[in-house]
Structure formats: C-alpha cells, structure tokens
Amino acid sequence: AQTVTQSQPEMSVQEAETVTLSCTYDTSESDYYLFWYKQPPSRQMILVIRQEAYKQQNATENRFSVNFQKAAKSFSLKISDSQLGDAAMYFCAYRSPYYGGSQGNLIFGKGTKLSVKP
C-alpha cells in the first residue's frame, strides 16, 4: 500500500522569503500523480500544484514549484516570495494513475502548518 509522509508538522517563514515543505512517499508503482493542496482557515481544499511521475520536468505554478526526485521518492514544495495569504495547512497527496477501484482516491500526508511572519 502507498504511504505519504510529511515530516514537518509546522514551519515558519518570513514574508518575502522562500520556504520548502518536505514530502516523501512510498509506492511500488512506476507511474502516479502527486499533488500539493493548501487548506486555509476557511478549510477549503485548494489544489496548488500537481506532478505526473512520468514527467521529468518539475511542475511550477507562479510562486510555487516542486522538486520531484523520483528515485528518492521525494516531492517537496517551494514557495518563493512568501505572502501572508500563504499561511495555511499544506497537504501532500498521492494518486495511482489507474481510474478504477480504490486507486482513484488520494492518499494524504498528515499536513504541514505554515505560518508567515510579517
């Protein structure tokens, strides 16, 4: 069974600085999807970024980018030029590529709470 581990329960960053959130996962599949979700105090789950395992190029979305290391099974999220609105819980998630059975669902890490200091 696949597992996702986020080893940093809490992180803090100064406004305008850069922070990296860590995520590791375990799987025997060669193809899969990885996601980072943001959950602000409103509790809405917001997709930040996604990565297909077959793509070597790291995904980027504006100030958010990932460092995907397939061999090491590592998927970290880098937030550049941190803003007060980035303060939230961040969840790393894994999904099998197969569209059927339980494999279509996400497996989540336990989350990292990010604080942004002004």
Partner 1 sequence: NAGVTQTPKFQVLKTGQSMTLQCAQDMNHEYMSWYRQDPGMGLRLIHYSVGAGITDQGEVPNGYNVSRSTTEDFPLRLLSAAPSQTSVYFCASVGRADTQYFGPGTRLTVL
Interface residues toward partner 1, by CB under 8 A:
4, 9, 33, 35, 42-45, 47, 50, 91, 95, 97, 99-102, 104-106, 108-111
In the complex, minimum distance from the CB of residue 111 to partner 1, in angstroms, rounded to a whole number: 6
In the complex, minimum distance from the CB of residue 67 to partner 1, in angstroms, rounded to a whole number: 21
Show Cβ contacts of residue 35 under 8 Å, excluding neighbours closer than 6 positions: 47, 48, 49, 50, 51, 92, 93, 94, 95, 106
CA distance 11 to 8: 7
Show Cβ contacts of residue 43 under 8 Å, excluding neighbours closer than 6 positions: none
Two tokens, residue 86: 């980035």
In the complex, minimum distance from the CB of residue 77 to partner 1, in angstroms, rounded to a whole number: 15
By beta-carbon proximity to partner 1, the closer residue of 76 and 80 is: 76
Radius of gyration of the chain (CA): 14
By beta-carbon proximity to partner 1, the closer residue of 101 and 118 is: 101
In the complex, minimum distance from the CB of residue 105 to partner 1, in angstroms, rounded to a whole number: 5
By beta-carbon proximity to partner 1, the closer residue of 4 and 87 is: 4
